[in-house]
A and B are shown apart, each in its own frame.
Chain A
Amino acid sequence: MSDQLIWVIIGMGIVTYIPRMLPLVLFHTNNLHPRIQGILKNVPFAILGALIFPGVLTINPDSYLYGLIGAAAAFIAAWLNLNVILVVLTSILVLYGYTFL
Chain B
Amino acid sequence: MMPSPAMPREHSPAHWKKGISAGLPIAIGYMPVAFTFGLLAKAAGLSLFETVGMSIIVFAGASQYIALSMIAAASGAAELILTTFIMNIRHLLMSASLKERAEDDPKWLKAIYAFLITDETFSVAATSTEKKITGSYLLGLGLVAYSCWVIFSGVGYVMGSGLPESLQASMGIALYAMFIALLVPAAKKSKKVIALAGVAAVLNYLFSLIPALSGGWGIILSTLIAAVSIEFFIKGDDKSE
Contact = CB atoms under 8 A, between A and B. Distances in A.
Interface of A: 1-2, 4-13, 15-17, 19-25, 27, 29, 32, 35, 37-56, 59-60, 66-67, 70-71, 73-75, 77-79, 81-85, 87-93, 95-96, 98-100
Given A25-B114, A41-B97, A41-B100, A74 B204 contact: no
Contacts of B77: 1, 4, 7-8, 11
A22 B24 CA distance: 27
B25 interface: yes
Which of A11, A52, A82 has the largest number of chain B CB atoms within 10 A?
A52
B20 interface: no
19 contacts: A1-B71, A12-B63, A12-B80, A17-B114, A21-B95, A21-B115, A24-B95, A39-B228, A40-B99, A41-B100, A52-B201, A55-B176, A56-B176, A66-B169, A73-B177, A74-B176, A84-B181, A88-B178, A95-B173
A78 B185 contact: yes
> What does DSSP make chain A's interface, helix, strand, loop or mixed?
helix
Interface string B37-58: 0000000011101100110011
B1 interface: no
B167 to A, nearest CB: 7
Given A40-B100, A48-B183, A71-B180, A8 B201 contact: no
Counting from the closest, the 3 A-B pairs by CB-CB distance are A49-B197, A70-B173, A44-B126
Contact of B94 (A4, A47, A53, A66): A47
Interface of B: 22, 24-25, 28-29, 45-47, 49-50, 53-54, 57-60, 63, 67, 71, 74, 77, 80-82, 84-85, 88-100, 102, 107, 110-111, 113-115, 117, 119, 122-124, 126-127, 166-167, 169-174, 176-188, 192-193, 196-205, 208, 218-219, 222-224, 226-228, 230-231, 238, 240-241
Contact of B174 (A21, A39, A88): A88
B13 to A, nearest CB: 21
A27 to B, nearest CB: 7
A45 B197 contact: yes
Nearest to A90: B177
Given A16-B84, A40-B96, A74-B173, A45 B54 contact: no
> What does DSSP make chain B's interface, helix, strand, loop or mixed?
helix
B99 A29 contact: yes
B219 A70 contact: no
B222 A46 contact: yes
A21 B204 CA distance: 25
Given A16-B60, A39-B227, A50-B204, 17 more contacts: A5-B46, A12-B54, A15-B88, A19-B85, A20-B88, A22-B92, A27-B96, A40-B97, A43-B126, A46-B196, A50-B226, A70-B176, A71-B177, A74-B180, A82-B181, A90-B177, A99-B170
B241 to A, nearest CB: 8
B185 A54 contact: no
Contact of B177 (A10, A40, A49, A70): A70
Contacts of A56: 173, 176
